Amino acid sequence: MDELVEAALAGLSQSSKRKYRLVFSSFLSMVPLSEAKPIHVRIWASRRESIVARRTLKQQLYMLSRLFKVAGRKDLSDEARSLAKEIRSPAPPPKVDESLIRTYSEIDAILERARPLVRAAITMLAETGMRVGELVSLRWEDLDLSSRRALVRGKGDKSRYVYFTERTEGFLRKLGRSDGRVFPVSDRTVRRWVTQLLRTHPHAVRHAFAVWFLSRGGSPRVLQHILGHSNLRTTEVYLDISQSLVEREYRLVVQGQNRRLTSGNTRGG
């Protein structure tokens, strides 16, 4: 067995060999390779699930498949690789441009010279977190300007309402109502507008809206509905980001205030 393990480790760096040995030992301590069956691979993986992260388990299954392949156990190798492919690592957290969130307070000045259609489109994205595809699909009959809300048809043909402010309502009224789409342009055109004026891409605006909403006390459940997420977990990834922004802003404000107070007391003394 030692010779078999060494053969499976051939060509690896010393650091990798240590990692592979630990994985091999873990499996072989459960069942001898000569007695192992595909079900044992799944049993081993289920036990490891409570010990290591899913991404790590995925890697370790591929490590095992190397040993099985060298041993001529195609049944075990195929099972390990098949199981590894079933494991999906969690999606990375969305990247949020903090400067874009600060831009929210300056957006009127940024868009001051833009055409009415451009101003309406970008403020609509910024205030609702809509996807670009949803924005360009909006029709005038989907808008209720008096209630300042829009009926959006999202992924899976699911409909939801999003809401906007008086500012966006004013921009929309200036467009002049018709029987067609509110924004009769392509996705690419809207992306170009966002890139030119906000120096970012539309999906970053969606991320920024989500963090901005939560950092000001918005409910994750409400945000889930606004963004059209089918799973609350998808929405909750923004919580940690928003919390870090709240904490940072708090420390900047409070520490800055304390410094001013301390400086004032020193001068007064």
CA distance 195 to 211: 20
Lowest mean pLDDT among 72-76, 77-81, 181-185, 202-206: 202-206
Beta bridge partners of 156: none
Write down the pTM of the prediction.
Answer: 0.58
State what percent of residues in the chain have pLDDT above 90: 48
Domain containing 72 equals: 2-86
Same domain as 233, residue 121: yes
Same domain as 162, residue 201: yes
In sequence order, what are the residues at sequence separation of 6 or more whose Cβ sits closer than 8 angstroms to the Cβ of residue 86?
none
φ/ψ of 93, rounded to 5, equals -65, 150
Q: What is the dihedral angle through the alpha carbons of 110, 111, 114, 116, rounded to the nearest 10 degrees?
A: 180
Instruction: From 99, 168, 181, 95, select the one nearest 128 (Cα to Cα).
Output: 168
Which strand ranges, in their side-by-side order, compose the sheet holding 143-144? 143-144, 149-153, 159-163
Q: What is the pLDDT of residues 102-150, one digit of tens each?
A: 666 688 888 989 999 999 999 999 999 999 999 999 999 999 999 999 9
- Quickly tell me which residue has 């036990």 as its tokens: 47
**pLDDT value of residue 230:** 83
Instruction: From 70, 64, 57, 68, select the one nearest 21 (Cα to Cα).
Output: 64
Query: Is residue 256 in a domain?
Result: no
**pLDDT value of residue 217:** 84
Instruction: From 66, 60, 65, select the one nearest 78 (Cα to Cα).
Output: 65
Radius of gyration of the chain (CA): 28
- Quickly tell me which residue has 């991404």 as its tokens: 55
Q: What is the pLDDT of residues 213-226, one digit of tens each?
A: 888 888 999 999 99
Query: Is residue 19 in a domain?
Result: yes
Token duo for residue 258: 């304390």
Q: Evaluate if residue 157 carries a pLDDT over 70.
A: yes
**pLDDT value of residue 66:** 92
CA distance 260 to 76: 68
Q: Which residue has the higher pLDDT, 232 or 261?
A: 232
Q: What is the CATH number of the domain that holds 102?
A: 1.10.443.10
Looking at residue 221, its amino acid is R
Query: Is residue 125 in a domain?
Result: yes
Same domain as 111, residue 68: no
Answer yes or no: are the C-beta atoms of 116 and 175 closer than 8 Å. yes
First and final CA of the chain: distance in angstroms? Answer: 80
The structural domain count of the chain equals: 2
**pLDDT value of residue 249:** 61
Q: Which residue has the higher pLDDT, 98 or 153?
A: 153
Query: Is residue 118 in a domain?
Result: yes
Lowest mean pLDDT among 30-39, 234-243, 244-253: 244-253
Mean of pLDDT values over 8-21:
88
| Greatest Cα pair distance in the chain | 84
Residue 269 — very low, low, confident or very high, per pLDDT cuts 50/70/90? very low
Same domain as 151, residue 44: no
Same domain as 191, residue 121: yes
pLDDT mean across residues, the chain: 85
Same domain as 204, residue 142: yes
Residue 36 — very low, low, confident or very high, per pLDDT cuts 50/70/90? very high
Q: Evaluate if residue 202 carries a pLDDT over 70.
A: yes
3-state secondary structure of 219: coil
